[in-house]
């Protein structure tokens, strides 16, 4: 299924701010919204031991699901950063992705202007999706 994702400007700003604050470690978090609209980013603690890997704190994930449901929303996917490379899923990202049909947003900080790309995990592969920024 092809579709366009709507990412709120506030969500993008929060992801970039989180990524810059955590660099040189990868940051991570959940994407909250409804349908194909991502309304906010919920930052999570990265409990991975290596700085070039991310692992969302399970309690942060559970809390985000609960808070989203209370507002009639859902966790639509996840985000993380690549502090020293482009926002393309790494081999590790592909191997460790476990939520099919969820969105995965990656922000790359290797350039002065952060680059953001959006993917959907389908049949074990990341398919890039177009997205628009909305207010």
- 61 backbone dihedrals φ, ψ, rounded to 5°: -65, -50
Spatial strand order in the sheet of 5-8:
125-129, 115-122, 103-108, 74-82, 28-34, 37-44, 5-8, 131-134
Q: Is 26 a catalytic residue?
A: yes
Rounded to whole angstroms, how far apart are CA atoms 65 and 116?
24
Catalytic entry in 26, 40, 115, 128? 26
Q: Label residues 81-99 b or e (16+ Cβ within 10 Å = b).
A: bbbeeebebeeebeeebee
Handedness of CA 124, 39, 79, 107 (dihedral sign): positive
C-beta of residue 103 within 8 angstroms of C-beta of residue 76: yes
Catalytic residues: 26
């Amino acid at each position: 299924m092809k579709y366009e994702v709507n990412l709120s400007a506030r969500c993008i700003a929060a992801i970039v701010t989180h990524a810059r604050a955590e660099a040189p470690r990868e940051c991570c978090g959940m994407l909250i919204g409804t349908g194909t609209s991502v309304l906010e980013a919920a930052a999570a603690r990265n409990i991975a031991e290596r700085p070039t890997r991310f692992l969302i704190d399970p309690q942060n994930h559970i809390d985000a699901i609960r808070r989203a449901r209370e507002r009639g929303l859902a966790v639509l996917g996840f985000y993380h950063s690549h502090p020293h490379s482009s926002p393309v899923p790494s081999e590790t990202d592909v191997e460790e992705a476990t939520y099919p049909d969820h969105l995965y947003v990656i922000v790359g900080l290797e350039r002065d202007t952060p680059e953001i790309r959006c993917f959907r995990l389908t049949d074990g592969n990341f398919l890039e999706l177009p997205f628009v920024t909305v207010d």
